[in-house]
Amino acid sequence: MFIGELAKQAGLKIESIRFYEREGLLPVPPRSASGYRCYDRRHLETIRFVKRSQALGFSLREIGQLLQIHDRLALPSSTPRVGTQDLKLIQIARERLAAIEEKMHALGSMRNALAKFLRTYQRQKKLVCPANRRTPQH
């Protein structure tokens, strides 16, 4: 498929696809005999992964790291995995896992605060911003 079709299926503008290519997030597609870029399903899947990762709050740099890990794991299992590059990717994977766990914790805290706010509202039937509550003075 050509870039316009890829953009349509991915829900992006053509400029965004070219940006992802320049940033190294999207593999460079082969070109047709007439010089047009020819994209395939793999490119669309990569773009969808990038968009999901961005929606989860990952930076483009972090997404690039996740894609490196994915590409490395996609290699045949007979490929040795003990080199310096692999150790670097393992460290990146640990950092990404820690970041995900931190985000999950923050989202859990936010969820709990909102749930408490809604329970309070249901009981009191009035809105009181938690930041405006004052502690009783003695």
Q: List, for residues 75-109, the tens digit of each pLDDT value.
A: 776 555 567 777 777 888 788 889 889 989 999 99
Average pLDDT over every residue of 6-29: 94
CATH of domain 3-125: 1.10.1660.10
Query: What's the maximum distance between 2 C-alpha atoms anywhere in the chain?
Result: 83
pTM of the model: 0.64
Q: How many Å apart are CA 28 and CA 83, to the nearest integer? A: 26
Percent of the chain surpassing pLDDT 70: 84
pLDDT of residue 34: 92
Beta-carbon contacts of residue 4 (< 8 Å; ≥ 6 apart): 14
Residue 51: count of CB within 10 angstroms of its CB: 16
CA atoms within 13 A on the CB side of 61: 2
